Amino acid sequence: MSGIKEIDRTYIANTYARFPVEIVSGKGSILKDDTGKEYIDMGSGIAVNAFGVGDEEWKQAVIAQLDLVQHTSNLYYTAPGPRLAQMLCEKTGMKKVFFGNSGAEANECAIKAARKYAAEKKGPDCYTIVTLWNSFHGRTLTTLAATGQEHYHELYRPLTPGFVHAKANDLEDLIRVAEAQPTAAVMIECVQGEGGVIALDEDFVKGAAQYCKEHDVLLIADEVQCGNGRSGALYAYMNYGVQPDIVSTAKGIGGGLPLGVCLLGEKVQDVFGPGDHGSTFGANPVCCAGACSILSRIDDRLLAEVREKSAYIFDTLGSAPGVSAVTGMGLMIGILPEKKAAADVVRECMDKGVLCLTAKDRVRLLPALNIPMETLKKAVEIIRAACA
């Protein structure tokens, strides 16, 4: 047996419905398969390759750290983690950082921080976290419990208790759900990704933040998918003029290496003491050195470019025949085809050399933040034709 697709099907756990494409290499926003066919990458590894494939600056930062030491454990100091944490705090006003390896692990940390804060401040009965219907927070049993989509829960019960869900963009419902028991935190994605690329309403996010502030309920922003420049601001909450108490992120910050980040604000900065939480690979120096390179380049100029490219996509596809809605924010975009199924549009685009994703009934676009305008225009033209 030599074909990778066959070996994969035989030996890899059957958890992914893969497209029939084997990617062997790439550069920037162009990927090449095993037959030499080239694709424009409009998914960037599900919002991971922030600067595309083989970005030279990121690669050099990673290689330089690999030449020094790849891992030491958290028993010793290494430079990249603290440098990255300092940069994150200076750019966000958050106070302390915990590093893990994935979005789910970043959310686990956020949940533990919220529970410990509430237990110490309000007592052991205050542990419930309100999340939104249609949210996605990860695949561990606790982050699945946080995820407000019941179909992910089936056959995995009992899940971690202490999560209840409220309707997105319905402040009255959020408050009703939060008041039904002692509540430790409210957790939101400002732009829901897996739930269909839906940006929350400004009034709702502001109202939720105000409620949390007045009731000493922690506000957690899950920025795993919508963070790190993707929304056109460094973090999506910044578009809403609110200040979360905890921010979780992953994906794009690692630029292609696994890195989860939990940012702790003023209220929770001292919630953890030695031994309270940990992760063997947390603050891995290679991942953090790469992330320093990524984060240092998500500057005002890049963010302006993200917004400009976003406006181009909204303008071009918003009025295109066969498209009934374009949703999302920045370079996190959902396209609702009028008649075709999203999966059929994605398949047609793939045949024509453009790789897109889906989210629920939408075609989802998450291109590299630095995708060249000309490349983006070519891809959008193919997507437009596929929707028509």
By CB under 6 A, name the binding residues for ligand PLP: 102-104, 107, 136-138, 189, 193-194, 222, 224-225, 250
Nearer Cβ to ligand PLP, position 44 or 225?
225
Task: Please identify the residue of the shown chain whose CB is closest to the bound ligand PLP.
Answer: 103
User: Could you tell me which residues come within 8 angstroms of residue 82 by beta carbon, excluding any fewer than 6 positions away?
Assistant: none
- Determine the residue type at 301: R
Q: What is the H or E stretch that residue 90 is in? A: helix 80-92
As measured in angstroms, the least distance from the Cβ of 13 to ligand PLP is 15
Nearer Cβ to ligand PLP, position 104 or 242?
104
What is the rounded CA–CA span in Å between residue 132 and residue 164?
Answer: 8
Structure tokens at 273: 């003491």
CA angle 296, 302, 305 (to 5 degrees): 170
Sheet holding 38-41, edge to edge: 23-27, 30-33, 38-41, 354-355
Nearer Cβ to ligand PLP, position 193 or 282?
193
Nearer Cβ to ligand PLP, position 85 or 253?
253
As measured in angstroms, the least distance from the Cβ of 138 to ligand PLP is 4
As measured in angstroms, the least distance from the Cβ of 106 to ligand PLP is 7
- Of the candidates 36, 39, 34, 38, the residue with the CA atom closest to the CA atom of residue 4: 34
- Determine the residue type at 191: V
Nearer Cβ to ligand PLP, position 165 or 386?
165
- Of the candidates 128, 132, 187, 134, the residue with the CA atom closest to the CA atom of residue 160: 128
Distance separating the N- and C-terminal Cα atoms of the chain: 41
Q: Classify residue 241 as left (phi > 0), alpha (psi -120 to 50) or beta.
A: left
As measured in angstroms, the least distance from the Cβ of 136 to ligand PLP is 5
As measured in angstroms, the least distance from the Cβ of 271 to ligand PLP is 21
As measured in angstroms, the least distance from the Cβ of 328 to ligand PLP is 13
Nearer Cβ to ligand PLP, position 367 or 380?
367
Kindly tell me the burial class for residue 156, based on how many C-beta atoms sit within 10 Å of its own C-beta (0-12, 13-18, 19 or more). Answer: exposed
As measured in angstroms, the least distance from the Cβ of 214 to ligand PLP is 26
Nearer Cβ to ligand PLP, position 138 or 330?
138
The DSSP-derived string for 155-195 is TSPSPPS-EEEE-TT-HHHHHHHHHTS-EEEEEE-SEESTT
- Of the candidates 270, 304, 339, 257, the residue with the CA atom closest to the CA atom of residue 84: 257
User: Could you tell me which residues come within 8 angstroms of residue 13 by beta carbon, excluding any fewer than 6 positions away?
Assistant: none
Nearer Cβ to ligand PLP, position 194 or 245?
194
What is the rounded CA–CA span in Å between residue 260 and residue 48?
Answer: 12
As measured in angstroms, the least distance from the Cβ of 321 to ligand PLP is 31
How far CA 316 is from CA of 25, 44, 305, in Å, comes to 30, 21, 16
Nearer Cβ to ligand PLP, position 29 or 142?
142
Does residue 191 contact residue 231 with C-beta atoms inside 8 Å? yes
Nearer Cβ to ligand PLP, position 80 or 195?
195
As measured in angstroms, the least distance from the Cβ of 340 to ligand PLP is 24
As measured in angstroms, the least distance from the Cβ of 192 to ligand PLP is 8
